Amino acid sequence: MNFSEFIETYAAHPNYHAPRGNQLNARSWQTEAPLRMLLNNLDREVAENPEELVVYGGTGQAARNKEALQQIIKQLLILDENHSLLVQSGKAVGIVRTHPEAPRVLIANSNLVPAWANWEHFEKLKKDGLMMYGQMTAGSWIYIGSQGILQGTYETFVACRKKYFNNNFQHKLLVSGGLGGMGGAQPLAATMAGAVFLGVDIDPERIRKRLQTGYIDHISYSYREAVDMILRAKEKGDVISVGLVADIGDTLQNLLIDGIIPDILTDQTSAHDPLHGYVPNAISLEEAIRLRRSDPAAYRNRSMKSMARHAGLMLKLQERGSVTFDYGNNLREMAKQGGEPNAYDFDGFTPKFIRPLFCEGKGPFRWAALSGDPEDIFTTDKALIEAFPENHPMIDWLIKAGERISFQGLPARICWLGMGEREKAGLLFNDLVRTGKVKAPIVIGRDHLDCGSVASPNRETEKMKDGSDAVSDWPLLNLMSNTAGGATWVSFHHGGGVGMGYSQHAGMVVLADGTDRAAACISRVLYNDPALGIFRHHDAGYELATDTLHQFGMELRESYEI
C-alpha cells in the first residue's frame, strides 16, 4: 500500500481509524505502534472533534493541522530503527540519528518560556500556525477514550467513600458538571463506586456520546425530571446516573433553592480554558459559539465571571454539608480571577485523596491491543488477575471493567499499578505477545497525571509537604529517564489539564512486541517511570514514599562498591 492509499484507507479527513491485525504498514512495530495510536486518538469513537483534530479537553489536538498530520504519518511509515522523528507542537520538524533502543518519536507540545506562558501568547502563535495545545494524552497519542480517566476517577470516588462515608455510597448523591472527554468518565465511575450520579453539561452531544458507550444511564432536558429520577433512586438505594442538559451554575443554584444538598460535589467542566472550553452562564451553546468567534475578549470575561459564580455556589453547598473538591480543571484559579475571592476554600482531589497512592509509585497504567481484537484485552485481564492474586482492588476493578466498559477505538484497558507491579505487568504482556497468546503487540502507556511525571500546583502537586509544588525539574527528569530507558515514544507538554502557565508534564509509551529488545526497554522504563514518583515524594518528606523507597532498595548508594 502506497502513501496515498494509506491516507485514503485510514486517514481521509475527518474519518480516521487505526489499522488492525498483525500486518505491518510501517517498517517495524516500533513505528507501527505510534502510527496506530495517533490514528486511534482521532477515531470518531475516541475523539471529541476529529474535524479539528481535537481529541479531548476543549482544544487538545493530536496534530497541528491536516497537512502536518499527513507528514507525521508519512514519516512514521518510512522511519527505520536507527532514526527518531521530532514532533514540535503537532508538526514533524526533523529526523535525528539514534539507535534501536531509543524512542522512535520525541514530542514537545505547547511549551513556552515562562514569562510568555499564557493563553494570550499561545493563541497568537496558534493563530499564526506555529503551535497547538496538546493537553495530556491528546498530543502524546495515548488517549483511549473516557476509559483513560475512568479508573482514576473511580479510585478518587472510592477514596472519598472510605474517608467520609464509612466505605458505603448507598443512598448518596454525587453531583458534577462536565461530561466531555474527561468528565464523561464520572457517571460510570460513580455508579461503579455505588453512588447516584447527576452530571450536567450544556452540550447534549456529549451526554449522548456517554449514552452510546454505556457510561451514563439517562439523559434529561428537564431539571425537575432529572431531580425526580435521582431522588427516587437515592431514597430506594438504587444506583443510576443521569445527564442533565443544562448550565451547571443554574443547576447548583436550583439545588440550593430546593434544599437538595449533594453528598459529594465536584466538577470537570473545561474550566482550564475560559475561551474554548467553558461555556458562560445565561447564554445558549449556539450563542456561545458565535460570541467566541466574534468577540473573544467579551467571551473570556463572561466565562470567568460565570466560573466565579459556579465556584461560589459550590462553596455554599460545601457550607451546607457537601463533600466538595476541585477535580483538577483549574476551576478555582479561574473563579478567583473572575471575582470569587474564596475560591480556594475547597481542596483539590490530589491532596485530599490521591497523594498516598503517588507515594507508593501508583498511577494510571494503561495499555492497548494493536490487533484491534477485544479478546486480547480479556487475555491481559486474566493474566494480570493470575499474576497479582493479592491485589484485590485491581482484581475487583478488572472484573467490573470487563463487565461494564465499552471499548472506544482500539480495545484498551487501564488499572492503577505501583512500583514493581508495572514492570512485572509489562514483561508479562511482552511474553503474551512472544508466545502468541495475543494476536499482535501491545502498547503500554499512562496518563500524564501520574506520581512523578507532572508539576501542577493546582492539581497533582498541590500542597506538597515541602512547598515544592511548582518545581518542574521532576517531570523533566521523568522525561529524560524514560528517554534513556528506551520508551518507544516520549513527550513533554505544557498546560495540560489546567491551562497555559499552570503545569508541565511528561508522557511515555513503551511497546511490548515479544522481542528481547522490548523486554529490556520495558524493564528499564517501567522501573524508571514510577521510581520518579517515589524519588519526588521521598524528597518532599513523605514517610510513605521513604518506606517504599527502602522496600525496593532505591536509596542512593553509600559505597563505591557495586
CB-side neighbour CA atoms (13 Å) of 281: 17
Nearby residues of 295 by Cβ (< 8 Å), 6 or more positions away: none
Nearest C-alpha neighbor of 189 from the set 139, 224, 149, 132: 149
Let me know the angle formed at the C-alpha of 345 by 342 and 350, rounded to the nearest 5 degrees.
135
Secondary structure of the chain: what % helix, strand, coil (to 5)? 45, 15, 40
CB 441 within 8 A of CB 426: no
Is 415 known to be catalytic?
Answer: yes
* Residue 39 neighbours by CB distance under 10 Å: 24
Strands (E), 23-167: 54-56, 60-61, 83-88, 91-97, 105-109
C-alpha cell at 423: 514492570
Strands 347-348 and 323-326: parallel
What H or E segment, with its residue span, contains residue 475? helix 473-485
E strand or H helix that includes residue 490: strand 489-494
Q: Which amino acid is at 135?
A: Q
Query: Burial of 562 by CB count in 10 Å (0-12 exposed, 13-18 middle, 19+ buried)?
Result: exposed
With H, G, I as helix, E, B as strand and everything else as coil, classify residue 390. coil
Residue (of 357, 379, 389, 403) closest to 192 by Cα position: 403
Rounded to an integer, what is the distance from CA 185 to the centroid of its chain?
Answer: 10
Q: Which one from 359, 415, 451, 521 is the annotated catalytic residue?
A: 415
* Cell triple for 55: 481529541
Place of cell 461555556: 279
Q: Where are the alpha helices (DSSP H) in 25-146?
A: 29-41, 66-78, 119-127
Active site residues: 415
